[in-house]
């Protein structure tokens, strides 16, 4: 199914707030948190005993999972480019260097009030200065202050000499104080800036028509003029033989100006798309949705033997975060379940239930041992019983792309214990670190643990039996499949058909498409990759709609509401919203908010 072609029937499966109203939040013991940023900071510590390469990927996965805490929320608290014009003298951050606290790296501590996109700016700054970040510990206090610790080396993997600290501190502060919009030059860009401001005051937001086109054109001209001025300035610096610091500052400004131009070009693209695809006449929505997922299958022309997004009207709570494993989490959720049900949630996504190497559960070891850092097996069963008493579905986090071994064989961790006492023949042979003798899988390899060979019938049979036990004995109602880029969608279909859950969805984590650090207006290719995965499951599984999440975050955080209608003139994620006759009304609803 092709999502870019409005004439092609839509495949059901992508879960978004505008379609099935699937929401992912983090529920704390004292309050609900709906913060959504580009990167949600959380303290990340890798599991011990992993090789350095594995630790790095595990750290990335930790940040990625913390990032999912607000998967479908639209309330992004990111400052707009116009509102983030801080400068070096106003930046209240403190940067300290230490060569004594670690024998092999320099410790860089950055502390002070948090600010929008700080982690992203720091990462880019270290990269620009050609420093290697070996590890990082990101901490944000409830008061909104940060104390970030970076372990860094130079390109030769040596500590940073003390003589370089002052210069590096100055350059770091300069780089992270750069705004999203470059300062306007005195000559080039000054006239377009005034013209754009006048037009913007009379036209308001981009709503369509000649005013919208004129505003977009003026702002694009202004951004282009600013970039030209900076390019000329860099040429002058080169002729003058300027110092490297001046070049660094100019390069930062050029990157910011290029990003702003890309943003203005995206806005123009949206205006032109709106002119090519005028809004259709609105119609009244149907009074009843019918049987939910089945209705979507009929509208989209797809067939399925599985549950996809349940009834199609689910409201799902992510019932944990990266720190929940530090307490009696099952007991906490059990106490809060009546309130969760009263809030309108129909299902709760629970953490991985099995024994694992990592406290959070994403490096599972013994599948059938469901005593974890979140609580005991008895506490889990009690929680599920209370959930069912309150009419809330229990969704298990199924981590089956990889599994950690109990024992070593020939110095490699590839011998499993517990009820599923597998050997290295159950492991894919992609990563020589684990000595797997199974098939070579074409999907993405997760290097932190042995990847299971789902092409083998015996592997699929054992996994299906375990999931049946979770469903029929333990009491789970549905599945959230972790890291589905690592194994075939056809295998997911077999697991769903064999266990008959009430709902199932996958985490097809894929990065949106950017140019010069700016989210592209057209994200059809990104969305298509997720839809392709849903198609491979035969429509039995839905998937997190990370495309819609990314667009919503950009649109709401920066006031770029033109992103809420795609290049075909359709509302955001409208192809997943049900019968085609509902789409004009949905588009009208979005335009009313612009």
Which residues are known to be catalytic?
482, 507
DSSP letters for 384-417: HHHHHHTT-EEEEEE--SB---SEEETTEEEE--
Give 580: exposed, middle or buried? Use CB within 10 Å, 0-12, 13-18, 19+: middle
Cα(191)–Cα(224) distance, integer angstroms: 12
Residue 68 token pair: 């999912």
Place of tokens 């029937």: 9
Cα(43)–Cα(476) distance, integer angstroms: 29
**Residue 508, CB-side half-sphere exposure with 13 Å CA sphere:** 31
| Tally of residues, the chain | 594
The alpha carbon of residue 397 and the mean position of all alpha carbons in its chain are separated, in whole angstroms, by 17
Measured between alpha carbons, how far apart are the two ends of the chain, in Å? 30
Place of tokens 């592997």: 459
Report how far apart, in Å, the C-alpha atoms of 523 and of each of 7, 15, 66, 515 are: 18, 16, 23, 12
Cα(569)–Cα(275) distance, integer angstroms: 9
Report how far apart, in Å, the C-alpha atoms of 240 and of each of 186, 188, 235, 251 are: 20, 21, 9, 16
Give 544: exposed, middle or buried? Use CB within 10 Å, 0-12, 13-18, 19+: buried
Residue 180 token pair: 């999203």
Cα(457)–Cα(559) distance, integer angstroms: 51
Greatest Cα pair distance in the chain: 76
DSSP 154: -
163: alpha, beta or left? (left if phi > 0; alpha if psi -120 to 50): alpha
Residues in contact with 395: Cβ distance below 8 Å, sequence separation at least 6, in sequence order: 316, 347, 348, 349, 350, 476, 477, 478, 479, 480, 503
Cα(482)–Cα(571) distance, integer angstroms: 29
5: alpha, beta or left? (left if phi > 0; alpha if psi -120 to 50): beta
Residues in contact with 259: Cβ distance below 8 Å, sequence separation at least 6, in sequence order: 180, 516, 517, 518
Relative to beta strand 32-33, strand 26-27 is antiparallel
Residue 257 token pair: 């100006």
Grouping H, G, I as helix, E, B as strand and the rest as coil, residue 572 is coil
């Amino acid at each position: 199914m092709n999502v870019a072609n409005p004439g092609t029937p839509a495949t059901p499966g992508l879960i978004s707030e505008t379609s099935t109203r699937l929401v992912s939040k983090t529920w704390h013991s004292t309050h609900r948190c709906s913060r959504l940023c580009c990167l949600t900071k959380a303290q990340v510590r890798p599991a011990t005993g992993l090789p350095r390469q594995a630790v790095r990927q595990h750290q990335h996965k930790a940040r990625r999972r913390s990032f999912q805490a607000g998967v479908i929320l639209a309330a992004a608290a990111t400052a707009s480019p116009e509102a983030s014009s801080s400068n070096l003298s106003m930046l209240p951050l403190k940067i300290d260097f230490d060569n004594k606290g670690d024998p092999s790296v320099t410790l860089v501590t950055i502390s002070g009030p948090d600010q929008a996109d700080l982690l992203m700016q720091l990462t880019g700054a270290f990269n620009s200065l050609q420093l290697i970040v070996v590890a990082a510990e990101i901490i944000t206090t409830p008061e909104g202050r940060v104390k970030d610790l970076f372990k860094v080396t130079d390109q030769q993997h040596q500590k940073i000499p003390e003589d370089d600290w002052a210069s590096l501190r100055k350059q770091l502060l300069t780089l992270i104080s750069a705004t999203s919009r470059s300062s306007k030059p005195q000559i080039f860009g000054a006239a377009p800036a005034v013209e754009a401001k006048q037009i913007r005051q009379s036209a308001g937001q981009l709503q369509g028509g000649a005013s919208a086109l004129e505003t977009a054109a003026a702002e694009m001209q202004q951004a282009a003029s600013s970039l030209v001025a900076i390019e000329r300035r860099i040429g002058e610096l080169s002729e003058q033989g300027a110092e490297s610091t001046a070049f660094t500052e100019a390069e930062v400004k050029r990157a910011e100006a290029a990003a702003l131009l890309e943003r203005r070009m995206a806005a123009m693209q949206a205006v032109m798309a709106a002119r090519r695809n005028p809004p259709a006449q609105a119609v009244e929505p149907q009074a009843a949705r019918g049987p939910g997922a089945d209705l979507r299958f009929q509208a989209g022309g797809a067939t399925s033997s599985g549950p996809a997004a349940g009834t199609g009207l689910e409201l799902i709570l992510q019932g944990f975060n990266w720190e929940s494993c530090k307490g009696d989490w099952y007991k906490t959720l059990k106490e809060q379940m009546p309130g969760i049900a009263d809030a309108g949630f129909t299902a709760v996504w629970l953490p991985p239930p099995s024994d694992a190497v990592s406290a959070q559960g994403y490096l599972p070891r013994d599948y059938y041992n469901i005593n974890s850092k979140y609580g005991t097996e008895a506490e889990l069963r009690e929680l599920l019983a209370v959930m069912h008493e309150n009419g809330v579905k229990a969704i298990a986090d199924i981590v089956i792309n990889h599994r950690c071994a109990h024992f070593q064989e020939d110095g490699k961790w590839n011998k499993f214990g517990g009820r599923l006492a597998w050997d290295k023949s159950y492991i894919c042979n992609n990563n020589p670190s684990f000595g797997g003798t199974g098939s070579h899988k074409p999907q993405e390899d997760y290097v932190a643990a042995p990847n299971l060979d789902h092409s083998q019938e015996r592997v699929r049979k054992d996994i299906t039996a375990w999931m049946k036990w979770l469903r029929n004995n333990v009491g789970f109602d549905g599945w959230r499949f972790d890291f589905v880029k690592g194994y075939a969608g056809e295998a997911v279909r077999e697991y769903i058909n064999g266990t008959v859950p009430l709902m199932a969805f996958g985490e097809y984590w894929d990065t949106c498409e950017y140019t010069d650090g700016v989210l592209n207006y057209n994200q059809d290719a990104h969305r298509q990759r997720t839809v392709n995965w849903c198609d491979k499951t035969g429509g039995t599984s839905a998937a997190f709609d990370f495309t819609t999440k990314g667009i919503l975050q950009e649109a709401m955080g920066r006031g770029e509401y033109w992103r809420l209608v795609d290049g075909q003139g359709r509302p955001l994620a409208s192809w997943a919203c049900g019968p085609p006759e509902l789409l004009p009304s949905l588009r009208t609803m979005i335009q009313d908010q612009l």
